A = this chain, B = another copy of it.
Amino acid sequence: MLRIGLDVMGGDFAPQAAVQGAVMAVDALGGDSRLVLFGDEKQIRDILREENCPAERFDIVHTSQVIEMGDHPAKAFQQKTDSSIVVGFKYLDAGKIDGFASAGSTGAMMVGSMQAIKPIKGVIRPTISTTIPTVAGGRALLLDVGLNVDCKPEVLEQYGLLGSIYAEAVLGIKNPRVAILNIGEEESKGNIQSKAAHDLMRQSKAYNFVGNVEGSHLFSGKVADVIVCDGFVGNTLLKTCEGLYRINQAMHIGSDSPFWQEMNYEHVGGTPVLGVGASVVVGHGCSSPLAIKNMVLSMERCAQVHLTEKLQQAFK
């Protein structure tokens, strides 16, 4: 039995959107999976009733507090001990759930990941990643997308391994091609950081390093399955592409293109926190029910393939 934890109080449209997403997810989950909802029990039951979904299909853990987007993450995590996020991490740490997902305060989710769960031994810096669509049809993994905005080369080198294991285990890509995002294909190109990281990654035998990838090939799928960069660059790229997606949407461009549809964050669902000792997924603040559903499903997949154990093994 897999038990997938979901914070239903997190996100701009919580608890409504989160519970609706849970209802959408529950039919798609494997028979061996059970969704555990953390939040205000009365509100949860009211929304489930509106959705005509029997509450018995879920486990509900009542919590009385909410960490708000404006709260200081570390302080709130310490003080709001009966908040959905803090209780969720307690359950995760105690092994009562196999993963925890939230579209709430990213800061508080990171505090929980780093303090309640802790980094995997050997991982210098855990990371958050996202999958991006490729015209080849599959998805590629981009990391880091905003957690570590100043990365030492050693950190980028490890992202290659974290990403490689995720791409193989969760995305099902055999021997994934790992590249470092750079301004040219040639080895000699780059800034100080990317050149040093390239050198380290080239020597790594832990994954299939294929060299540099330029921005022009991020979405082509031709060069790499795992694209490593620091969190400043990754976050900027992600937001730029989201901006272009939204421009397209407003102008009704690409709406019948599978590629651009897949650019919709709702299909990604959330960004896994890689490198900590349990499965944690952080969702977009403005998550819709569809985004919540996909966040739950990607969390289930991480648990099914024992991603955390594989990462722990790799860093031993």
Residues of A within 8 A of B (CB): 135, 146, 149-150, 181, 183, 190-192, 194, 214-220, 229-233, 235-244, 246-248, 250-251, 253-254, 257, 259-260
Contact = CB atoms under 8 A, between A and B. Distances in A.
A243 B259 contact: no
A242 B244 CA distance: 12
B216 A240 contact: yes
A-B pairs with lowest CB-CB distance, top 9: A215-B240, A215-B239, A149-B191, A216-B243, A216-B239, A183-B235, A215-B236, A191-B232, A253-B254
Contacts of A218: 240, 243
Number of identical protomers:
2
24 contacts: A149-B190, A149-B191, A150-B191, A181-B236, A183-B231, A183-B235, A191-B232, A215-B236, A215-B238, A215-B240, A216-B242, A218-B240, A218-B243, A219-B244, A220-B247, A232-B233, A236-B237, A237-B237, A240-B240, A240-B241, A247-B259, A251-B257, A253-B253, A253-B254
Contacts of A241: 215, 240, 244
Contacts of A248: 254
B236 A149 contact: no
Nearest to A191: B149
A150 B192 contact: yes
Contacts of A250: 135
